[in-house]
Amino acid sequence: MPTLETPTPYVDLDRRQWSRLSASTPLPLTSTDLERLRGLGDPIDLAEVDAVYRPISRLLALYVQATRQLHSASSTFLGEGTARTPYVIGIAGSVAVGKSTTARVLRELLARWPETPRVELVTTDGFLLPNAELERRGLMQRKGFPESYDRRALLRFLAAVKAGSAEAHAPVYSHQSYDIIPGARVTVHRPDVLIVEGLNVLQPARPAAAGESSLAVSDFFDFSIYVDARTRDVRRWYVDRFLSLRHTAFSRPDSYFHRYAALDDAAATARAEEIWDAINEPNLVANILPTRGRATLVLRKGPDHAVQRVRLRKL
Ligand SMILES: Nc1ncnc2c1ncn2[C@@H]1O[C@H](COP(=O)(O)OP(=O)(O)O)[C@@H](O)[C@H]1O
Ligand SMILES: CC(C)(COP(=O)(O)O)[C@@H](O)C(=O)NCCC(=O)O
């Protein structure tokens, strides 16, 4: 008897099926690549990079190529020259799920493809409102929630990138000072690929006020990746990262969290769990997780960060 299953726009592959693609993916990792990847300082297993992330970079290289052809066809139709614009990839997911690690690894892998040697990376934390403004709005305990960002500035930045501007500027957030750095900015120089990583990059557009347009950040994406894992695993990764930050970032006297450097394991775990339970998990559940179904690709990690399932949107 036919079942009433919800139709899915995704093709869903388990780890074995996905990593089998690795064998037929060109550009095997060389020793120079391995050195560069190790140089990132991420704990990611290199066999995992080869089996899971290298096929993703191949898929992305194919998408970049196809998008350029489409772009060139529509420019010909319009009788315009073909100015190239950056291919923009969004990476979404919870705090501590591994967005930054995924972004850095993909940046290295994509740069190996002859079509996309120049890959740049921005994080959306630069678009957080400064602490003074968050305090004014009563949002200090909601850092990372959609309302804690200057969404218009982020949209303007992405519009400039997509318009092919020679340079586009973004503000800079410091985890050290836990605030926006006054006057600091990063510049994006019309790369082949721009990776935009952040908790909320797949949020739908807010309803527009009269006379305004209701664009979403993801309207500027050519491709998007949601990094997914069980909430209880992400909670553990958050706590583990917090514990190890005591010996690195927190230990610097100018760190906003310097007071945490002296906590013993039990006290630090309790503090990390408190922050997770009060801020990061509610944000994940209310705002981030509901955007998963908007991603082009979903990477589902197991308890050890190894990717267990890969879902690719085919429609
Ligand atoms: N693929 C991976 N393999 C092993 N550890 C990882 C992997 N991805 C992330 N981690 C670890 O998990 C934690 C969170 O990763 P990070 O990339 O900083 O997350 P996010 O940018 O989403 O906050 C870090 O301690 C990081 O070292
Ligand atoms: C800076 C962040 C909001 C993440 O920003 P993103 O780059 O994802 O936009 C987040 O890492 C954060 O600091 N959250 C506040 C709660 C906490 O300290 O974990």
**Residue 161 annotated as binding site:** no
**Residue 81 annotated as binding site:** no
pTM of the model: 0.96
Atom index in ligand 1 nearest the CA of residue 307 equals 1
Within a domain: residue 262?
yes
Within a domain: residue 284?
yes
CA distance 180 to 130: 5
Within a domain: residue 91?
yes
Ligand 1 geometric centre to CA of 100 (Å): 7
122 touches ligand 1 (CB under 6 Å): no
Compute CA 74 distance to the chain's CA centroid, rounded to the nearest angstrom. Answer: 29
pLDDT category of residue 81 using cuts at 50, 70 and 90:
confident
- Which of 55-59, 77-81, 214-218, 308-312 bottoms out in mean pLDDT, i.e. has the lowest? 77-81
Tell me the DSSP string of 106-166. HHHHHTTSTT---EEEEEGGGGBPPHHHHHHTT-GGGTTSGGGB-HHHHHHHHHHHHTT-S
Q: How many CA atoms lie within 13 A of 299 on its CB side?
A: 24
144 touches ligand 2 (CB under 6 Å): yes
Ligand 2 geometric centre to CA of 306 (Å): 23
CA 234, 255, 138: angle at the middle one, nearest 5? 70
3-state secondary structure at position 29: coil
Tokens of 255: 């760190």
Number of domains in the chain: 1
Name the closest-CA residue to atom 3, ligand 2. 144
Within a domain: residue 5?
no
Distant-in-sequence, close-in-space partners of 173: CB < 8 Å, separation ≥ 6: 123, 125, 126, 128, 179, 180, 181
What is the reported pLDDT for 298?
98
pLDDT digits (tens, 9 = 90+) for 173-204: 999 999 999 999 999 999 999 999 999 999 99
Task: Give whole-number Cα distances, 228 to 8, 78, 117, 299, in Å.
Answer: 18, 40, 28, 6
Look-up of token digits 């503000």: 171
123 touches ligand 2 (CB under 6 Å): yes
Atom index in ligand 2 nearest the CA of residue 127 equals 9
Within a domain: residue 161?
yes
What is the reported pLDDT for 279?
98
Ligand 1 geometric centre to CA of 234 (Å): 9
Ligand 1 geometric centre to CA of 104 (Å): 11
95 touches ligand 2 (CB under 6 Å): yes
Question: Hey, which residues does 300 pair with through a beta bridge?
Answer: 228, 309
Parent domain of 158: 10-313
Within a domain: residue 3?
no
CA distance 1 to 68: 45
Look-up of token digits 């995924």: 102
**Residue 97 annotated as binding site:** yes
238 touches ligand 1 (CB under 6 Å): no
**Residue 177 annotated as binding site:** no
Nearest ligand to residue 273 Cα: 2
pLDDT digits (tens, 9 = 90+) for 36-78: 898 888 888 999 999 999 999 999 999 999 999 999 999 999 9
Within a domain: residue 293?
yes
**Residue 94 annotated as binding site:** yes
Q: What is the CATH number of the domain that holds 91?
A: 3.40.50.300
Ligand 2 geometric centre to CA of 254 (Å): 19
**Residue 122 annotated as binding site:** no
pLDDT digits (tens, 9 = 90+) for 83-134: 789 999 999 999 999 999 999 999 999 999 999 999 999 999 999 999 999 9
Within a domain: residue 2?
no
